[in-house]
Amino acid sequence: MRARSEEKQTREWIEFVLKATILSFSSFLISCSDPFVTVDTKDIDADLAELLHDTLSKAKSLPNSGAIRGQLAMTYDVNGFPDAALATYKQAEKLDPGTFAWPYFQAMLLAKSNEPENAIAAMQRAISLDPKYVPAWLLEGTWFIDLERLGDAKNAYEEAARLGAGSPAIAGTARVLMLEGHPAEAAKLLEPLSDAMQHPHLYRMLGTAYRALGRTDDARIAFARGRQDEPLRWRDPIQSQKVDYIGGFGGRLIHAENALKAGAYEDALALLEQLREIRPDDPALLSHLSLAYLRTGDPEKALRTILEGFELHPEYYYFHVNVAGLYREQRKIDDALRHLKRAIEINPKQAEGHEQLGRMLMQQGHYDEALASLETAINQGVNDPVAALHSSGLIEGARKNWTAAIHYFERAVEIDISFTMGHIYLGRCLAEVKRFDEARRALDWAEKLGTHPDEVASARMRLSVLDAA
């Protein structure tokens, strides 16, 4: 009896050792059968080359670590080596099949390579590991649409909505409805959503729905409101993990700049403060850092950063433009004007400086100079020509140069038919020169837009007085 018991224990121990050996050998096979992917670093940023070398060396020192292999993949991914990243993510998934990020990041790269079917397959592996991760469902819905699998797309967006996705899921569902030929249902979803969010992409979707319904005027307004199209974004904490692996000063600075543009001010500030430790005197860094301080509610630190930059780079254009804005906020108008004029001397072809100077001169009542600056800004392609045209129209209206004012306001609403105040001032000016029917049409448009009812009522009253005179 005792002999049989000992024999059984010996057999179990041998089986355990064999299993352990097989598992160990399997891991060895994975690391040996999947050689490390390398990239050419000869002509890239020295800091980035060093990061890639160090990360690869770390992965080679721990060949069976899925986490470290994944870090290598992320480093390739965010620094512009998608093929190496994809192959290395696959290795990481083999080594560490329980981590959501590795198939998730594969899915994103496959989608960018125009492989939606493979992207969906990878995403479904990720979702099986974390079925409550909302961005995965939103992305899958988009790729199902690319494959014209509209039923699957609708299901993905419904699941995202159930998990609390909110507006991106509603927009995705509306897109499916449009493709299924139901523009009225899509518009019903998009109207309250676009009113609440005022996002250009939603306005463009709504314009498409209105156009399909034959609502031409409403479509024109919606497209005008969405004229500066930008994608509808959502938070993706898993994707954000890759930021830590951006290499090279330039690449990380571009990422910080993009974060500022996207309104992620706290994230941008954190990264810019890190970069200042690397290159404390870089003018572009200091300019962005000053803006980040301003956007996060610290104008004193913003001004101090710009002034420190001036000591190092007194001829840097953006320092003059940015400090002018800060001085204007502090009502130091003379200082602001001085810096704007110096900015224009340094780079006369930059429209931004001319526009800001024009606005400030207008506020000071220097109308001729203001008009000249605003016209220069418009001719040089200022980012917001509607605002510059509107300011020019206000100047001419203040001087009762009605015909000139009409010209500016007409140009403004031609660019942006959804610009309510442009229609209102156009109507007022037309009424002053007794073009009453045209004035009424302009005010009808303003009323249709529905954003400034009191101003429309006031303009109509003035029109009635002039028409009755």
Look up the pTM and report it.
0.76
Q: What's the pLDDT tens digit per position in 314-368?
A: 899 988 988 888 888 888 999 999 999 999 999 999 999 999 999 999 999 999 9
Residue with tokens 């518009």: 187
Write out the DSSP string of 285-327. HHHHHHHHHHHTT-HHHHHHHHHHHHHH-TT-HHHHHHHHHHH
Which domains does the chain carry? 2-178 (1.25.40.10), 181-230 (no CATH), 248-314 (1.25.40.10), 329-383 (1.25.40.10), 386-469 (1.25.40.10)
Q: Is the pLDDT of residue 91 over 60?
A: yes
Q: Is the pLDDT of residue 297 over 90?
A: yes
- Separation in Å, CA 16 to CA 9, 13, 22, 204, 376: 10, 5, 10, 63, 82
> Which comes out higher in pLDDT, residue 366 or 22?
366
> Which comes out higher in pLDDT, residue 250 or 13?
250
Is residue 306 within 8 Å of residue 280, measured between CB atoms?
no
Predicted confidence band at 7 (pLDDT cuts at 50, 70, 90)? low
> Which comes out higher in pLDDT, residue 30 or 87?
87
